[in-house]
């Protein structure tokens, strides 16, 4: 045993008795400590959501692939082939913009009811 090994052994024994982590030799990488859990600075709460559902038509036919955006907030969705859509959002008043190929862009004022409510908005686009 070299003098260096003896010093490391004594330091390790002292550290073990004092519950400090053992020293490491210069050729070894330092010991890593497991990450400590952190407390969030503020609790996170999600706002209760409601649904805005409806359908988009043009000349009485469903419009699939129409883009729908709510402002404020920017919630978006695209209509299904049958023209239907569902948007999860919070309650409030919005401007709903509907854009579809071959139709004029339509902007509709909509009101979404309180938490858990389902509001219905049908949009008839103009060519």
Domain of residue 63 covers 50-125
Q: Is residue 118 part of a domain?
A: yes
The pTM of the whole model exceeds 0.75: no
Print pLDDT tens along the chain (127 aa).
566 555 565 555 555 555 545 555 555 565 666 666 655 555 555 666 899 999 999 999 999 999 999 999 999 999 999 999 999 999 999 999 999 999 999 999 999 998 888 999 999 999 9
Q: Is residue 104 part of a domain?
A: yes
Q: What does the H/E/C string look like for the chain?
A: CCHHHHHHHHHHHHHHHHCCCCCCCCCCCCCCCCCCCCCCCCCCCCCCCEEEEEEEEECCEECCCCEEEEECCCCEEECCCCCEEEEEECCEEEEEEEECCCCCCEEEEEEECCCCCEEEEEEEECC
Q: Is residue 85 part of a domain?
A: yes
Q: Is residue 101 part of a domain?
A: yes
Q: Per the structure, how many domains does the chain have?
A: 1
Q: Is residue 79 part of a domain?
A: yes
- CATH number, domain of 116, equals 2.60.40.1120
């Amino acid at each position: 045993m070299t003098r260096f090994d003896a010093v490391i052994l004594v330091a390790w024994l002292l550290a073990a008795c004092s519950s400090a982590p053992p020293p490491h030799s210069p050729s070894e990488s330092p010991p890593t400590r497991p990450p400590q859990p952190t407390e969030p600075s503020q609790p996170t709460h999600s706002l209760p959501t409601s649904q805005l559902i409806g359908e988009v038509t043009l000349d009485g036919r469903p419009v699939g692939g129409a883009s729908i955006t709510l402002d404020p907030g920017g919630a978006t969705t695209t209509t299904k082939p049958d023209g239907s859509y569902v948007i999860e959002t919070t309650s409030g008043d919005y401007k709903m913009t509907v854009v579809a190929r071959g139709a004029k862009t339509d902007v509709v004022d909509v009101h979404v009811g309180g938490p858990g409510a389902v509001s219905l908005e049908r949009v008839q686009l103009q060519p």
